Chain A
Amino acid sequence: MKLDTLAGWARRLRARDISSRELTELYLGRIDRLDSQLNSFISVTPELALAAADAADERLARGEEAPLLGLPVAQKDIFCTLGVRTSCGSKMLDNFIAPYTATVVERMNAAGAVMLGKTNMDEFAMGSSNETSHYGPVRNPWDPERVPGGSSGGSAAAVAARLVPAATGTDTGGSIRQPAAFCGITGIKPTYGRVSRYGMIAFASSLDQAGPMAASAEDCALMLNAMAGFDPRDSTSVERPAEDFTTGLGADLKGLRIGLPREFFGEGLDPGVRAATEAALAVLRERGAELVEISLPNSGLSVPAYYVVAPAECSSNLARYDGVRFGHRCDEPRDLMDLYTRSRAEGFGAEVKRRIMIGTYVLSAGYYDAYYLKAQKVRRLIADDFRRAFGQVDVIAGPTSPETPFRLGEKSADPVQMYLSDIYTIAVNLAGLPGLSMPAGTVGNLPVGMQLIGNYFDEARLLGVAHQFQQETDWHARMPAAFV
């Protein structure tokens, strides 16, 4: 059977061309047959999936309407799922069976989604290559010697290989957009506060935001409709009325002002990525958009500011893993201090430890002003750059990542080089703005992503621009040859 998009399957389910059980079995079969090449899932949950599919088929038979009714999805293994292991890619939580369900998962389940399993990720979402996972790296379906990006690398690879039509991701510094770009799919990080963080394992709470990853912008809009909304259980959830993110899909691009930050097209940008991005921009211009050069003068400071703010928040959030209440505990602790230090040393991988130590240091007595306070001030400069830019333009565009997917192991020994992989995405998290990545072309066989950044709460517009682009191009519809 020809594979379809989430929106396409939704139509076919309603037309009774296929049942949710058949659709679920189709994708479970693909995971079973093909995921050994990718390692994109940490847990596959076929019994739960088939039970959910049967329930969806009954609802469909009754003529019920729900946005994701009967559609197979995967959840990043950062979202708590009652009764199902929720590992966050870490040995620390290898034995953690979540005692409750994240709001995002709850909302998607209520919308009728059928969860096939939990996807692989960098440990505690700390990484840009999916190589820090306790469960081993994920491979890029376009080239198995290359990384899928991270931290939502499992979700991106699974969607790109069509092992599932759509999956959730989370994005603290680029963890939806960079893997979406590396795997040739579409992903959107909504405005901070749009999607509930309740039950989403915390990394850096002032930056973390969940969003959808799928083949097309239309599919992302459908998913976001189910995911977003006010949640009193998340203290930073934004109180706004529900919005239909599909309403902007038809919007025409005539007169749309697209800002191109000159800092995103400078030194360090791969020439092939630049050429693909420029070709994609030309498509938008032909559809009537106006391209305007702008400047985000402080964007060069975004990665350094992030590597103070995010580790500081991470060191606080990860203090809860103490070997006492849940998670990994070392054998035969001598005393309480030995219990803490050895349980944490055994449970966390090297990158997580590195970030906990950076955070501990920058928050320690005597260093707080020099690092943390300074980084928070720079964060405001970065947000102010965007505020000024959005006085001139409607949307900002540029490459998602400075390069195409790198080889496994290529950056593992050099943390700073790995961090620079997110040079165009991090500023967006610091400001709290929505950002989308869409397939914009290729360099050789490897996908290139273009990033669209919007003003606060302007997700519908971003999805609309991407959808219009996807009416003119077929990059988003291409599949890696080994998985057709």
Chain B
Amino acid sequence: MSLNSDEVRRIAQLARLAVDDREAEGFAAGLSDIFDFVEALNAAEIGGVEPMAHPMDAEQRLRPDAVTEPDQRELFQALAPAADGGLYLVPRVIE
């Protein structure tokens, strides 16, 4: 399968990655090679095979719905690029 730079830009947009034109061309070549390689899966006989999501087919363990974590907002927000008054700051979303 061959991807062109426009398709790469569309995927990059979905993945929230900025790419310039030169990068898009580079990624198009690399990703096309990888998807060609992955095509080998088409040869597999998978009729009636159940998809496997977990190595031991384990189910999600449940726990009581109780509060176990203490409030560490200040500690965590100290890591934020921009926070003030308990809020994470981002560019204005609604004009």
**Chain A: residues with CB nearer than 8 A to chain B?**
96-97, 99, 192-193, 206, 232, 235-236, 238-239, 298, 300-301, 303-305, 307-308, 315, 319, 322-329, 333-342, 344-345, 348, 350, 353-354, 356-361, 364, 371, 373-381, 383, 414-416, 419, 430-433, 456
Contact = CB atoms under 8 A, between A and B. Distances in A.
Interface residues of B, number: 52
Chain A interface helix/strand/loop/mixed:
helix
A415 B30 contact: yes
A307 B81 CA distance: 33
Contacts of B44: 298, 301, 374, 377-378, 381
A307 B92 CA distance: 38
B12 to A, nearest CB: 6
A431 B34 contact: no
Given A301-B44, A324-B80, A354 B30 contact: yes
The interface centre, meaning the residue of B15, B34, B76 with most chain A CB atoms within 10 A of its CB, is B15
A96 B19 CA distance: 25
Interface in B39-72: 39-46, 49-56, 58, 60-61, 63, 72
Contacts of B13: 341
B18 A342 contact: yes
Interface string B4-47: 00001001111111110000001100110111011111111110
Which 7 pairs show the lowest CB-CB distances between chains A and B?
A432-B55, A376-B51, A329-B81, A345-B18, A380-B52, A341-B18, A377-B46
28 contacts: A99-B72, A193-B55, A235-B60, A235-B61, A238-B56, A301-B41, A333-B90, A335-B91, A339-B90, A341-B17, A342-B18, A344-B15, A345-B18, A345-B19, A350-B26, A353-B12, A354-B34, A357-B11, A360-B15, A376-B51, A378-B46, A380-B51, A381-B46, A383-B55, A414-B33, A415-B34, A419-B37, A432-B55
Contacts of A325: 76, 79-80, 88
A354 B31 contact: yes
Contacts of B35: 358
A336 B8 CA distance: 21
Given A99-B75, A354-B30, A354-B31, A361 B82 contact: no
Given A235-B60, A374-B41, 12 more contacts: A99-B75, A99-B76, A326-B76, A334-B91, A336-B90, A338-B18, A339-B90, A371-B38, A375-B41, A378-B46, A379-B52, A419-B34
Given A193-B56, A326-B79, A377-B51, A301 B93 contact: no
Nearest to B52: A380
B18 A344 contact: yes
Contacts of A360: 11, 14-15
Given A345-B17, A377-B44, A381-B44, A336 B93 contact: yes
Contact of A377 (B8, B49, B58): B49
Nearest to A380: B52
A304 B41 contact: yes
Contacts of B52: 376-377, 379-380, 383
B91 A357 contact: no
Contacts of B90: 324, 333, 336, 339
Chain B interface helix/strand/loop/mixed:
loop
A431 B56 CA distance: 8
A322 B82 CA distance: 12
A287 to B, nearest CB: 31
A416 B43 CA distance: 19
B38 to A, nearest CB: 5
Contacts of B60: 235
A298 B41 CA distance: 10
Contacts of B42: 374
B90 to A, nearest CB: 6
A206 B53 CA distance: 7
Contacts of B14: 360, 364
A431 B55 CA distance: 5
B36 to A, nearest CB: 8
A96 B81 CA distance: 11
A134 to B, nearest CB: 16
Contacts of A430: 55
Contacts of B88: 324-325
Contacts of A338: 18, 91
